[in-house]
Structure 1
Amino acid sequence: MMNLNEESLKVHREHNGKLATIPKAKLEDAHDLSVLYTPGVAEPCRKIKDDKDLSFEYTCRGNMVAVVSDGTRVLGLGNIGPEAGIPVMEGKSVLYKVFADVDAIPVCLDTSDKDKFIETVRYLQPNFAGINLEDIESPKCYDIEDALIEKMDIPVFHDDQHGTAIACAAALLGALRLVKKDIAEVKIVANGAGAAGTAIVRLLLNLGAKHITMINSKGAMYEGMDMSRINRVQAELLKETNLEKKQGSLADIAKGADVILGVSKPGVFTADIIKNMNKDAIVLAMANPDPETSYADAKAAGARVVGTGRSDAPNQVNNVLVFPGLFRGAIDVRARKINDEMKKAAVYAIANLIPDEELREDYVIPGAFDPNVAPAVAAAVAKAAMDTGVARIKVDPEDVRKETLERTKKLREILKTIR
């Protein structure tokens, strides 16, 4: 019997990857050829020449996202290069299609130079409705995303940062509702201050959290610490976190904490740390592929609610809950960017899918295959984009929800025929 790695190699080899392109219109005779290609194709070209935004209507651009990476920080594998990063970007593209009927393609760039990366992606803008940045080393990823948001007129979204943050925040809101605690009152410890960790902290602050302490490999972080080890994003967050300037190790800072969040490394949330937390403790251990603690170990140590990034345990905190629906909503209104209000809308859309009466210790966040997630996120994001003025067109959010649900339902029926 094959193990998971062997089976994955077999599937990738047999299918020559996981993606293919297929036409949307029939091509069976000379008339079809004239309509799809020359001479008929000249007419949409003329229309787009007069109004570039018509490229969203007359071409695949209107439903197309690029998943862009340089392969410098792929999964837990590190800097493995652009070619080795393709399977991940290709897999992400599959998830876009299956969960929200968004067409996506992997684009792995053969450069680790920040400025060349930015310039290359900027030139791709006419082809896409959005850019999903993926698996780019920190702190370079911050500069790349900021520059591209500034230079481009389509959404640019670094999923390792914000997708993780949105999923984590949704799980936390569900857990807090269950244990009846207020986000503004709880003591939160965030272990890991890289791209994902800082994005989580920023989003939680935007959602009303008041008492957060970030931890790096040296211990508690605070404003005024050795700045040679602090990047610009961390420095900004330290103005709003650990205002008491507490110092110490993870074990020290986690004493009496209500919540500990991990985007760090395996095994660092020990039983003693969890036992010393506050009553009804919440533990979200999201290191990939092996979390800071297992679900079973954290529960045995006394945590009330536990979530991890793993699919073989309850309360999976997974980006797939976020990016398909988020981009579905953004491109359905032809958004120019993804802003903080759209991210918050996605958080609440995911968290509120579970009514209070259905919340359980092992069910504070919807599952990855819940068919209602992407439609709910798409509708909420589309509305937030329109409300904040970054949408090019107006639509009914309820229509977005219904159409997303119907599109994905039909697509999954088709996918059942794949061998």
Structure 2
Amino acid sequence: MNHDSSLNHNALLYHEKPQPGKIATLITKSFSSQSDLSLAYSPGVAAPCLEIQKNPDDAYRYTSKGNLVAVISNGTAVLGLGNLGALASKPVMEGKAILFKKFGGLDSYDIEVDETDIERFCDTVVAIAPTFGGINLEDIKAPECFEIERRLIERLDIPVMHDDQHGTAVISLAGIMNGCQVTGRSLESIRVVIVGAGAAAISCGRIYRFMGVREIYMSDSKGLIHAGRSDLNAQKLEFAAPEGMNLRSAFENADVVVGLSAPGSFSLEDIACMAPEPIIFTLANPVPELFPEDVRSARPDAIVATGRSDYPNQVNNVLGFPFIFRGAMDVRAKMINMEMKVAASQALAALARAEIPEYLNTIYKTELSFGKEYIIPKPFDKRLIVEVSASVAEAAVKSGVARVANFDLEHYKIDLAKRLD
């Protein structure tokens, strides 16, 4: 049995035994007597129902709403597997629910919506939204995902985020900021090439630009996106280069390349013409555009990151979404705005520069030290929930989208620290 077939066999057993699936519900109150029954259901349950009718915000006081995230997909872009349909996306959505719970302490239900029409999909999500304190959109193909997210943010007053777009953007920005620090660059001075033009690529380009990057070039399967092309949607047009440029000319003296495409979508020859000490992110998963050892054969001076856990500098969305939603929901934010996403990036970057706890060296069997091999924090860094969630919550308060009164940052950090096991 080869490695892939062995992995598939073990994965199927993992999902099937001892009971199918990866998540279940948990009762949070005492429920062992007639008195408990009368409080949990009829007649006692009428009391909180009436209070919520009078004041809808009391749903956060008397129900699980404030700690409950919906992970919602229509299955049109499942991992790197394509349009598998809503039902086949369910294992991924259950997996996302596990990550919310493990890393952010957030409960989660997976919701698979068998609908590809944008308006009907949005109507469905809006109709069920009162149940939840936040909505994580997942595995929805571009360009529909941009319009779906925009409409839901506009129609709902709880945090909504399409993680396929923004997770990679938040974590890669942290890595680029630290890469710039290691190599003596500034965000305003760098030339960035983004290979790929899907949901993650567009979001990456937007957050980099928001943070001051002026020179961004983007390519899709037909080559460099430029003003002379007539086949560009509105999102790609945001990053159209001058007519006459090509991908190789974009790579000339580029400081950063972010691969969000497929194996082989750029080459060793492309990175050979980049600036000294290039920052090279090959984020296609599971097979990157170029493997790190191949990158280093051509550019031994490079900083390299991938989406894989078996190489240094993993750009892993689990560093972002559990803590972004934790912070947003704890201050009852109406939305997740750019300021909150940038705050998450900055907190991640700062954490990688901070002193390394010894338990991380033990977990990862290495001596971590800020530098070319360590510009992005590790997923099992226990400080993530405190530093990232608190930064997001503070940004929500400062940007005016939070609904809590008298937010105390230091008290909130203490409360977050108590969640650590």
* TM class, shorter-length: over 0.9
Which residue identity lines up with residue 364 of structure 1 in the other structure? Answer: I
| Residue matched to 1:402 | 414
Could you tell me how far 1:360 is from its partner in structure 2? 1.6
Secondary structure of the residue that 1:280 maps to in structure 2? coil
- Contact 1:185-1:210 at 8 Å conserved across structures: yes
Is 1:304 matched up with 2:302? yes
Alignment of 1:245-256 (within 5 A): 245=243, 247-249=245-247, 251-256=248-253
Q: CA deviation at 1:364?
A: 0.4
Give the structure 1 partner of residue 403 of structure 2: 392
Instruction: State yes or no: 1:79 paired with 2:83.
Output: yes
Contact residue 219 and residue 247 of structure 1 kept, 8 A: no
1:287-328 alpha-carbon deviations (Å, 9 max, x no partner): 122111112211222142100000111000011000000000
2:10 match:
7
Deviations 1:188-209 (A, max 9, x none): 1111111110100000001111
* Shift, 1:356, TM fit: 7.2
The corresponding residue for 1:317 is 315
Greater mean deviation of Cα atoms: 23-32 or 296-305: 296-305
Residue 62 in structure 1 maps to residue 59 in structure 2? no
Partner Cα separation in structure 2 for residue 105 and residue 400 of structure 1: 26
Q: For each residue in 1:112-139, what CA deviation from the matched residue of structure 2 results, as whole angstroms up to 9, or x when unmatched?
A: 1111100000111210011111101111
Matched to 1:235, the amino acid is: L
Query: Aligned partners of 2:159 and 2:58: how far apart in 1?
Result: 17
Per mean C-alpha deviation after superposition, the further-off stretch among 295-304 and 194-203 is: 295-304
Residue 22 of structure 1 pairs with residue 19 of structure 2: no
Cα drift, residue 329 of structure 1: 0.2
2:280 matches 1:277: no
Say if 1:315 and 1:362, in contact at 8 Å, map to a contact too.
yes
Deviation at 1:246, TM superposition (A): 5.2
Name the residue aligned to 2:337: 339
Return the alpha-carbon distance in structure 1 between the equivalents of residues 167 and 213 of structure 2: 19
Give the drift of 1:354. Answer: 2.1
The one of 369, 373, 376 equivalent to 1:365 is 376
Structure 2 runs not aligned, ≥5 long: 356-368
2:136 is aligned with 1:132: yes
Taking structure 1 as the reference length, what is the TM-score of the superposition?
0.93
- Judge conservation of contact 1:69–1:85 (CA < 8 Å) in 2: yes
- Other-structure match for 2:385: 374
CA contact (8 A) 2:137 2:163 kept: yes
Secondary structure in 1 matching 2:189? coil
C-alpha distance in 2 between matches for 1:117 and 1:98: 29
Instruction: Note the C-alpha offset of 1:245.
Output: 4.6
Distance 2:110 2:384 in 1: 24
In structure 2, do the counterparts of structure 1 residues 81 and 385 end up closer, same or farther at CA, with 3 Å as the change threshold? same
Aligned: 1:288 with 2:285: yes
Task: After TM superposition, list the pairs within 5 Å mapping 1:140-159 onto structure 2.
Answer: 140-159=144-163
SS in 2 for 1:188: strand
Taking a change above 3 Å as real, the CA distance of residues 231 and 217 of structure 1, as seen in their structure-2 partners, is same
Output the amino acid matched with 1:274.
I
Instruction: Tell me if the contact between 1:322 and 1:374 (Cα under 8 Å) persists in the aligned partners.
Output: no
1:352 aligned residue = 350
C-alpha separation in 2, matches of 1:95 and 1:402:
22
The alignment status of 1:226 with 2:238, answered yes or no, reads no
**Alignment match of 2:165 (pick from 161, 164, 174):** 161
Q: CA 1:260–1:246 in 2, change beyond 3 Å: closer, same or farther?
A: farther
Once residues 256 and 124 of structure 1 are traced to their aligned partners in structure 2, the CA distance between those partners, rounded to angstroms, is 50
Unaligned runs of 5+ in 1: 411-419
Cα RMSD, aligned residues only: 1.5
Superimposed CA distance per residue, residues 61-86 of structure 1 (whole angstroms, 9 cap, x where no aligned partner): 11001010000000010000111100
Secondary structure in 1 matching 2:418 = helix
Distance in 2, Cα, partners of 1:295 & 1:261: 13
Task: Name the CA distance, whole Å, in 1 between partners of 2:214 and 2:14.
Answer: 47
Shift in Å, 1:279? 0.5
Q: Which of 95, 102, 106 matches 1:98? A: 102
Aligned counterpart, 1:416: none
- Deviation per residue, 1:85-131 (Å, 9 max, x gap): 00001100100000010111110101111111000001112100111
Q: 2:118 aligns with which of 108, 114, 117?
A: 114
Cα distance in structure 2, aligned partners of 1:396 and 1:6: 49
* Number of aligned residue pairs: 402
Q: Deviations over 1:8-67 (max 9, x none)?
A: 111100031110101111111111112222221111111101001111121011100101
Give yes or no for contact 1:69–1:135 (8 Å, CA) kept in 2. Answer: yes
- On the 8 A contact 1:329/1:400 being kept in 2, the answer is no
Q: Is the 8 A contact 1:220 1:247 kept in 2?
A: yes
Tell whether the 8 Å contact from 1:191 to 1:264 is kept in structure 2 after alignment: yes
For residues 385 and 290 of structure 2, the distance between their equivalents in structure 1, rounded to whole angstroms, comes to: 29
CA distance in 1, matches of 2:337, 2:315: 22
Q: Which residue of 2 aligns with 1:413?
A: none
State the shift of 1:217 in Å: 2.0
Alpha-carbon deviation of 1:6?
1.6
Match of 2:176 among 152, 172, 175: 172
Q: TM-score, normalised by structure 2?
A: 0.92
- Of 324, 327, 330, 1:329 maps to 327
3-state SS in 2 of match to 1:184: helix
Report sequence identity in percent: 42
Contact 2:195–2:266 under 8 Å retained in 1: no
